[in-house]
Amino acid sequence: MQITTSRFLRFTLRADAATCLATGLLMMLGSTVLAGFFAMPPELFRYAGMSLLPFTAFLVYMTTRQRLSRAAVWAVIALNALWTIDSFLIVATGWVTANQLGYGFVGAQALGVAMFAGLEYVGLNKSASAVL
């Protein structure tokens, strides 16, 4: 089902894309510095940063559409929720160890991504009233 995207949803997707691009480039290009600062593996930063770039491109594409499928928006919400869950799991399971700043970084970025998932859900509901 196609929906007419609300301004709120487009704005939220743009903000999500901007933060994904900035964070992805920072983690990719600054992986060694970040690894030293947070006492985490540089590969984690590098590959996590690389994974954000295709997602950013998808978000940018979505912001250019006047209409979107509900499934596409739900996919973004689900991927953001998965990133949040995985962020907490990698430290909770001991897969990654870090210093206190590292744990704080993982938690803060996970909560930021969760916030985008919530805002995109609100934006989807605002858009639903304009269903074609």
End-to-end CA distance of the chain: 8
Other C-beta atoms closer than 10 Å to the C-beta of 126 total 16
pTM (predicted TM-score): 0.92
Band of pLDDT at residue 130, cut at 50, 70 and 90: low
pLDDT tens figures, 61-95 = 999 998 999 999 999 999 999 999 999 999 999 99
pLDDT attached to residue 132: 47
